[in-house]
Structure 1
């Protein structure tokens, strides 16, 4: 995404000459102890990642999922990649097992991705950028949940955003892809993650229970609240209204999330999703959006249990950000 301006007015460093600037490497963990978190917050990776999230947050402001936007060839290829992951779920039904949660068929499904991730990513990149494939493929593999624990959470979601950010940094995605990245690609990713969660009864990774925003996701609440900014009729207090959800979820990512929660959980909304219930009392969507960004930084990006699993390479570097 060449020279995109963030809300702060700073130019985001998410576009460089991929053939000359990067010495591609297989990303690895760098945050091994709590004191290492300082390295993360000072890193180029953190600056690029949060800049990418905020750029997309601005891009989707006041826009519906059903609005018109450009869909590039690379976006179409990304959707094809996600369709492949979806088809593998259909080909890998849950197995009978004593425990209710964490169906071991997920490991079979994940093994397919592990074996084919580089081929899937290779199909997205032109010949002169194939050297980036092993680096970018790691973020795709990290984005679907943990094979051993059979769980999924905001760290895996962050890996998918990092995957998209890397595709921008090697310039196979551009500024014109912003809306399609959220409304087509990320929305489709969410659908597949929900299908994984339901099919294989995946555990929430690092869930805070009733004190967390959601068991599995966070970014769609940020971008979804941005869609609602300055909405003429729908206020935050309306998103818990069943009729509002049913009438508008096709247009708003936030309502899609609430609809899924209502399908998966029983009992009063205020009890099973207390943090979201509290958000319904905020007076404006702009305040909701700002509050969720602060909460995301504090509860996800600055939490060691989440970031200890993040991997760093040349595209998302642990090196300190240039002053």
Structure 2
């Protein structure tokens, strides 16, 4: 694949940081547009992109229903996401005049703010407990913004950063690759969709019909990789509702399309123009490479997204090691 040159931060097998690691509470470092150069040269960028691409390679040609190991850490992450889901049930929307941005979301979010460190501690091995305050910041950043009651690709990136940090401390391993995408990320998507629906969250920094999707990006990258070398399904097929309904349980990409079809009305070419254009690309490997380029350009190289990204010891603003 053309874009795999940056794979520097896969899940290390036995290569967790030394015991002497000093964890730090992540903070913003990108405050002006010229700072974007620092981000693109940073160890955090190399590690984050390496993580995304390693998972992209790992899920290639695999179905959601294929066999893979589910480790204890993955089970604990699913429990954590189950708790977030349960809190939504316990925090119903309130009556308010405005249709969007239900203020009950803030109540839900404040519960996560209070509990995040404890939730992360429960996932980490005992000897890595000191990393919980640092990693918990990414969990809190991954569910949307309580002031604006919105959610977008920057929040999604924070969840990927959260998972990347769990790899860097050795809680997740190389053998967890498929479960990270198919179990954990997929469950995260379900919880985010429930949040979006329940509290009518606004898309953060949406480009409207010119964006790929109002809320997500990564499932389209990994989802297109699942289709590479598929014997019958081509990019042109994902706009066929029959195909979507038949195969969405096997493919994240189709599950995302199904969600869009549920949430939006009118011709697909009008409400999701970018995706409609992608359906004309001849092969899934070209779709996959194009989406990776688009993700870098539209998300990772956009100041309005990256100004919110936080850097600590695990995802460092320091220049990447050569």
Cα distance, 1:230–1:14 mapped onto 2, change above 3 Å: closer
In the TM superposition, what whole-angstrom CA distance separates every residue of 1:213-249 from its partner, at most 9, and x where no partner exists?
Answer: 0000000000000000011100000000010000000
Partner of 1:268: 267
Tell me which of 6, 9, 12 is aligned to 2:9.
12
Mapped contact 1:45–1:312 kept (Cα < 8 A): yes
Partner of 2:202: 203
CA distance in 1, matches of 2:164, 2:304: 22
CA distance in 2, matches of 1:127, 1:242: 47
With normalisation by structure 1, the TM-score equals: 0.97
Q: Structure 1 residue 127: deviation in Å?
A: 1.9
Mapped contact 1:250–1:256 kept (Cα < 8 A): yes
Partner of 2:95: 96
CA distance in 2, matches of 1:223, 1:97: 38
Partner of 2:151: 152
Partner of 1:133: 132
Partner of 1:298: 297
Partner of 1:320: 319
Alignment RMSD, CA only?
Answer: 1.2
Three-state SS of the structure 1 residue aligned to 2:314 is coil
Cα distance, 1:103–1:22 mapped onto 2, change above 3 Å: same
Cα distance, 1:153–1:51 mapped onto 2, change above 3 Å: same
Q: Structure 1 residue 13: deviation in Å?
A: 6.6
CA distance in 1, matches of 2:71, 2:11: 18
Which runs of 5 or more structure 1 residues have no equivalent in the other structure? 1-5
Cα distance, 1:14–1:321 mapped onto 2, change above 3 Å: farther
Partner of 1:3: none
In the TM superposition, what whole-angstrom CA distance separates every residue of 1:93-125 from its partner, at most 9, and x where no partner exists?
Answer: 000000000000000000110000000000011
Q: How does 1:19-168 map to 2 (within 5 A)?
A: 19-20=18-19, 22-168=21-167
Cα distance, 1:92–1:232 mapped onto 2, change above 3 Å: same
Cα distance, 1:284–1:318 mapped onto 2, change above 3 Å: same
CA distance in 2, matches of 1:129, 1:38: 32
Mapped contact 2:26–2:312 kept (Cα < 8 A): yes
Which runs of 5 or more structure 2 residues have no equivalent in the other structure? none
Partner of 2:189: 190
With normalisation by structure 2, the TM-score equals: 0.97
Mapped contact 1:19–1:129 kept (Cα < 8 A): no
Partner of 1:280: 279
Query: Which segments of structure 1 move beyond 2 Å, counting only runs of 4 or more?
Result: 6-22
In the TM superposition, what whole-angstrom CA distance separates every residue of 1:155-184 from its partner, at most 9, and x where no partner exists?
Answer: 000000000000000001100000000000
In the TM superposition, what whole-angstrom CA distance separates every residue of 1:263-312 from its partner, at most 9, and x where no partner exists?
Answer: 01111000000000000000000000000000000000000000000000
CA distance in 1, matches of 2:11, 2:301: 21
Partner of 2:257: 258
Mapped contact 2:248–2:255 kept (Cα < 8 A): yes
Cα distance, 1:9–1:314 mapped onto 2, change above 3 Å: closer
